[in-house]
Amino acid sequence: MRLHRLLVPLVVLALLMTGATPAVAAVARVWTADSWKRVFQTDQRPAGASTSINWDAARNEAESYQILLRHTASFTITGVTLSALTGSAGTIPAGNLEYKFQNHHAPEKGQLFPDPLGNERSKAVSANTTQGIWVTVNVPAGQAVGTYTGSVDIATNTGAIAVPMRLTVYPIDVPNAVDSKYIYSTWNVFFNEYADTDGGVVADEIVDRYHFPRYSAQWWKLIEDFAKEQKATRQNQVHISIDPLLDGPTTLVGDTYHFDWTKFDQFVELFIRHGSVARLRGNPLLNALHTDQVWIIDNEDGVNKVALAPVDSPKANRWLDQYLPALKAHLDAKGWTDIWYQTISDEPKEDKLANYNWAVGKYRQYFGADAKTQDAVIGLFPELVGNLSVWIPLIDKLQENEQFYRDRQAAGDEVWTYVCLQPDARDGWLNRWSTYPAYTARQLAWGNFKYGATGFFHWGYNAWTSGQYGEVEPYPGDGYIVYPDVPNGTVRTSVRSLATRDGNEEYELLSILKQRDPVAAQRLADALMRGYDNFTDDTDLMAKTRKELLLRAAGTALPPRVEAENGRLTGTGRVDTVGSGYTGSGYVGWLDQASGSSVTVDVTAARPGPQVVEIRYSNGTDTTNTLTLLVNGAVPRKVEFLPTGDWNTTWSSAYVTVDLAAGTNTITLRHDADDGSVDPDSLTLW
């Protein structure tokens, strides 16, 4: 298993274009890649690449795949048509499939990174540029188990391209995000974003960027699009700003507040209506930077506005002693009290914890002793025990203080994880930076399962101004997970957002498996994650591990192992039994004694298209060695085999995605002159 500390990203080196794709070479080179892989505009079609989409999914799960097109001349994609998926068990309507073109951005004012996903319906592609199309299937809840097929038909100004789709649905259901115990939340900026120091406005992202007046029809349509994006990516808690209450309008006349909940209700009800809310997060009671001032609505020079007042001051008490009981009464009347989680002060400061606890006392005076609070914390604060219900430490702090947070869970508190500028991805920590492979966002959920965290929080969702979108970004993409689409008056999702969705779905599958086989669930999480700063970068291993998770969670039989010693040998290759721990009756050794020596096995694929082959092996040298792999005798490619520590008593696995035909295929492992010493034991198709 390859585990590493992620370093500063480098441009993926272009692979040599190999071979022509039948029927489409005159139009463009076309290939496909799964959702784990990152593809740059400079990447070329790899050797042995597939030209079809091959999904494995649970019911009520969304899965994505990439179609990649490249040509030596410029061309235009004029349309993409997605057929229904049909099979003997039924049909998945075309309306359950969608596509988005890969867009790019340059947060460092240089290299283009593939992250935004565009809403355009056609695309001009420059010569010698790889263009991606992300295709997503949303498997209906209760869909009949079985295999479904269809086609993606891509029209271009130089000809048509057909990409086959195949989906296998397994007998297991992913719960709806609104019903899940796993909470995914971001700091969304749908109203004013306030400065931490003086309460001034940093930005109103919608008004400033889109020029939509607040509460206009265009504004509400955009908020609806945000809600749809959040539901599609399993974000199930929304932040409620103080602005819609102010805009009600809520007024202060003398010392008495007159609360108007009209805009507050419209906003909350929109998210509830779209099924994207399991919880509501209340606007912080205290200022985040110093934890010594209270956010209030005040009347200044005849204008009601959001302002700040010192903790325990007359203005602060006037506000809290009227706002909190009014809020409680309104939530009770709407039936929302049980899903309301109050933020007290984001990232409370160590020297102001007494202020934090004072504010909790105020809140619980009106909401009750068991009222739920939640906050991101960047330090270890035992002083908050009893006053903080949902602890959200940075991932490095959870890893370093695991027992403290296990104790909090044992006491009935929730523990999530958090990323916000830190911990620094450049130091090897998982994060959701846009310059890093999207699987780093996906693996956060695997890490959360490993450490027992039941939620994930991130700044930010659409804090484009604070995140320095469009400028040189010191923390690329960290302030936003979606992108503006001003010309179309909507929002663009991102590869990182889809990756987070996938990770959240896999968290659900791990949780289901844990109920039946906790050892297997933990082993699968450990296969990808040793820690938030120690994780695999092997995307083929990721794909294999997800497939095994799906099979085990569904209670479906695992694929059979094909023994190398039963294969056809050439040259100096021979069956050997020296050592221990091998599968079957032996393994294949001595391939390195003569160039051209090989072993060929027959494998049976239930379906055509890309599949991961797991090669179990021993490599007793102290270097990474290679063998040459051929599928059905064509397109040789190198496979790396890391050292196993000794010969034929310690075994490991290498993983590689191969493109197979339905039925019998041959896989050959050959020792060429530039290869090293490796003893294959068995092969498994996933």
Q: Which residues contact 430 (CB under 8 A, 6 or more apart)?
A: 6, 395, 419, 440, 441, 443, 444, 447, 532, 533, 535
Pair 263, 248: CB distance under 8 Å: yes
Pair 208, 219: CB distance under 8 Å: no
Q: How far apart are CA 231 and CA 237, in angstroms?
A: 10
CA quadruple 671, 672, 675, 676: dihedral sign: positive
Three-state DSSP at 197 gives: coil
Q: Which residues contact 443 (CB under 8 A, 6 or more apart)?
A: 430, 503, 528, 529, 535, 542
Q: Which residues contact 595 (CB under 8 A, 6 or more apart)?
A: 571, 671, 672, 673
Pair 276, 238: CB distance under 8 Å: yes
CA 55 centroid distance within chain: 17
Q: How far apart are CA 415 and CA 437, in angstroms?
A: 26
**518-552: per-residue pLDDT in tens?**
999 999 999 999 999 999 999 999 999 999 999 99
| Amino acid present at 368 | G
The count of other CB atoms within 10 Å of the CB of residue 545 is: 24
Token pair recorded at residue 606: 């239930």
- Give the number of residues written for the chain: 686
- Assign residue 386 a region: left if phi > 0, alpha if psi is -120 to 50, beta otherwise? left
Question: Which stretches of the chain score pLDDT less than 50?
Answer: 1-25
**Angle (nearest 5°) at CA 342 between 532 and 505:** 40
Longest dimension (CA), the chain: 96
- pTM listed for this prediction: 0.94
Q: What is the DSSP string of 487-519?
A: TTTEEE-BHHHHHHHHHHHHHHHHHHHHHH-HH
DSSP 52: S
Residue 167 to residues 81, 138, 268, 608: CA-CA distances in angstroms?
A: 17, 11, 36, 11
CA quadruple 261, 264, 270, 273: dihedral sign: negative
